[in-house]
Chains A and B, each alone.
Chain A
Amino acid sequence: MTILSFTLILLCGAFMAGLLGSLTGLGGGVVIIPLLTLVFHADIRYAIGTALVASIATSSGSASAYVKEGITNIRLGMFLEIATTTGAVVGALLAVYMPTNVVAIIFGLVLIFSSLMSFRKKVEFTAGKDDSKAAEQLRLNGSYPSAGGIVDYKVHHVPGGYLMMTFAGVMSGLLGIGSGALKVLAMDNIMRIPFKVSTTTSNFMIGVTAAASAVVYLQRGYISPGLCMPVVLGVLAGAFAGSRLLARANVKWLRIVFSVVIGLLALQMIYNGVTGKL
């Protein structure tokens, strides 16, 4: 296979990844690593560098739309970015000492967790009595516009959420993914903020978190222009097409199919990691 055909096939693959990632809300970066390692037989270190760049692209691209609508809680995002960027730097440091097959196994486990998360029944938490003092002092409580007027909400359990975000950052730095599922988990289940706000704020944070470790990976030579070029252009075009289709598509079945595919890819990654093929 020549570089030309390799690039064109990868471009199509990345387009599909971006399209499905944005339709199902799982993000485009999550499929890039199995796509590159299992289908294109690239070394996992190149795959990690490429996926990081892809998640910066999709996060910045879609965050611009959400920020405009005023749903993103910028203060909450900024405060939690202290946790995620610290974690990302630690993750990028760990990656040097971690054997690649162990990275593949951890990646597989996070992937399975992410796909299970997308099936989770969404229960909206209503503001409880346990108002967090820290949230008050850090001015994290916010409001967002909805059809029925401005909705106020409060942020809970700030230390727990911060800890979970640090973990999400480590995973992001180690595996080269946005780890959006972990971020949403921290904000929904621990900090109890509305879904609309947690999803968009998580997306807003992914780019910054990924950039913190991408600057390390760039210097280590993980970020290869030959791979990044088709992947970034493909994922961006796919995510854009996905956001256009989203209003019309019935995503329920799509999400199930995509999650099953991701689950199988994850098992394959774990298998290859255990047998030392990655």
Chain B
Amino acid sequence: MKQVLSKYFRDKDVQQLIGKQLRIGVIVSSIIVFIGGVIYLVRHGHEQPSYADFTGVREGLTSLPGIWQGVMENKGMNIIQLGIVLLIATPIIRIAFSVIAFLVEKDFLYVGITLLVLGIILFSMLGGIAG
């Protein structure tokens, strides 16, 4: 019984940590998106939006180095995109956290399963399937 209880509480700690990380990720990325949005609107607010024809977003917004370069030049769009990237990274970081959590619990089956999920996402990111 004692063992069952201690397992329950350890699980609980891990879950608390994951919950906190998700919340921080969402809050920080919304703040960055908001800041970028203000800069973008001040500079481009009077222009006309054009989303009717698909051309893809401009260069520099589709890769990490490109986004970061624009952030250094204080471009509003790039700052927004940085926030969006952080938002996309939030659940991925959560997966990485879970690997550590299962490792601490010595649940190696789930260390493997979680690494597999992480691997699929990394393949999606780096596997060149964006075309």
Give me the interface of A with B, judged by CB distance under 8 Å: 1-4, 6-7, 36, 40-43, 45-46, 53, 56-57, 59-61, 63-65, 67-68, 70, 72, 74-75, 78-79, 81-82, 85-86, 88-89, 92-93, 96, 138-139, 207-208, 210-216, 218-230, 232-233, 236
Contact = CB atoms under 8 A, between A and B. Distances in A.
B-side interface mostly:
helix
Contacts of A220: 56, 62, 130-131
B91 A221 contact: no
Given A3-B49, A64-B19, A216-B129, A211 B88 contact: yes
Nearest to A63: B22
Contacts of A214: 88
Given A2-B45, A208-B117, A228-B33, A221 B61 contact: yes
A212 B120 contact: yes
B61 A3 contact: no
Interface residues of B, number: 66
Contacts of A236: 26, 30
B49 A1 contact: yes
A203 to B, nearest CB: 11
The 8 A-B pairs with the shortest beta carbon distances in the complex, nearest first, are A221-B56, A4-B45, A219-B130, A207-B91, A225-B80, A42-B51, A43-B54, A67-B19
Nearest to A225: B80
Contact of B120 (A7, A72, A79, A89): A89
Contact of B121 (A40, A138, A215): A215
Contacts of B36: 225, 229
